[in-house]
Amino acid sequence: MAQSGIHAFSSIILSKSLKYEKWLVPSLIFGSILPDIDILFAAIGFILGLNIYDAEAIFHRTFTHNIFFPIIIYLIFLSVAEITSNKKFRTIGKGISFGI
């Protein structure tokens, strides 16, 4: 989680080289920080009584740190964009997926 600032900064630099769309930059930044949310699940596991090493082994760097996570996120946003006929969700899904 300490690298979240570096992840966000690298997204800002990357977003300057991409074609600008209204929701792309914020979703790139959010997507670059999103995989580190699993450390919160490890903290909750520790609060609920797991050993810190067990909680980290169970939750940290598991489901949010694999290749399927950005694909699933993009497919969810793509489905919402098709259902609502709103291109904004497609741009947000693309940004989050590239950020991850």
Q: What's the pLDDT score for residue 98?
A: 87
Question: Which residue numbers in the chain have pLDDT < 50?
Answer: none
Q: Report the distance separating Cα 3 and Cα 10, nearest Å.
A: 11
Cα–Cα distance list, 59 to 1, 5, 45, 72 (Å): 14, 22, 8, 19
Identify the pLDDT of residue 3: 66
pLDDT at 88: 92
Integer angstrom CA distances of residue 11 from 17, 48, 55: 10, 34, 29
